[in-house]
Amino acid sequence: MSILSYDFMQRALIAAALVGLLAPLIGVFLVQRRLALLGDGMGHVALTGVGLAFLLGTAPIPTAMATAALGAFLIEFIRYRSRTAGDVALALLFYGGIAGGVLFASLAPGKASSSLNAYLFGSLSTVASGDVIALLALCLVVIALLAIFGREMFAMSLDAELAAVQGIRVRMMSTLLAVLAAVVVVVGMRVVGLLLVSAIMIVPVAAAQQVTRSFRATAALAVLLGLVASVSGLVTSFVVEVPPGPTIVLEALALFAVLAVIAVPLRRRRSRSE
């Protein structure tokens, strides 16, 4: 395949596959907790990290990672402290994230503000060779943490108070989930872009849950859909020469539509059999 003869495309494909695999695994918990927009906010906060990296001349992935992780703790703190005005407080944080990112990037020397676009909507050529190792490492960390804490997160997402009565540290699990979402945002920022990366967390899950009957099946199908959308979206973007973020998200949305159509007769048959 000619596409694979380009080194940058090989790296971009690896990065896309990683985000397609990881994002729905986190998204399924976010949707279950009705926090679908949390990933969105995390992307906004990570943008400040990218702006800072431009300004300070540091590496974007670690800087964005640190900023997003800090944002995750802040978000959980705000959610815990202010039950009623929590969503407004979060909105303030998210606006601040975008504004900070754009401002820092504009202050940075050189053509930083124009390359900010690549971080907003994804780019085929920005995954550096060192990045692949960093992304793989982050991916392994996320999977290991899910293997250890996933069941407790599931119980917490079903009902936080019941989980607490089972001895589960709900605040710890909630914070861990937010941090994992931050990691996924950073893994996805290169190819999908910070403004759209949360779509890969949410859209495959929303698509899958139309036809599934269990949490496990929803997660598995969502990962499959996420992989299909991100890898094929990336290839499409190479062929058509458009940014990969939008193509990946539109392909995920197309999969959502297809499953919505499939779900109609399926649901009818099920309700008849009951």
Which residues of this protein are in contact with another protein, per CB under 8 A?
A: 28, 31-34, 148-149, 151-152, 154-155, 157-159, 161-169, 205, 209, 212-218, 270, 274
Closer CB to another protein, 2 or 214, in the complex: 214
CB of 205 to another protein, least distance (A): 7
CB of 197 to another protein, least distance (A): 20
> What's the rounded Cα separation, in Å, for the pair 233 and 15?
12
DSSP-derived letter for residue 227 is: H
In sequence order, which residues have a C-beta less than 8 Å from that of residue 185 and are 6 or more positions away? 39, 42, 43, 46, 68, 194, 197, 198
Closer CB to another protein, 114 or 213, in the complex: 213
Q: Which of 72, 121, 114 is nearest to 93 (CA)?
A: 72
237, 193 contact by CB (below 8 A): no
In sequence order, which residues have a C-beta less than 8 Å from that of residue 75 and are 6 or more positions away? 38, 41, 42, 45, 90, 93, 178
CB of 200 to another protein, least distance (A): 17
CB of 75 to another protein, least distance (A): 19
Closer CB to another protein, 48 or 157, in the complex: 157
Closer CB to another protein, 135 or 181, in the complex: 181
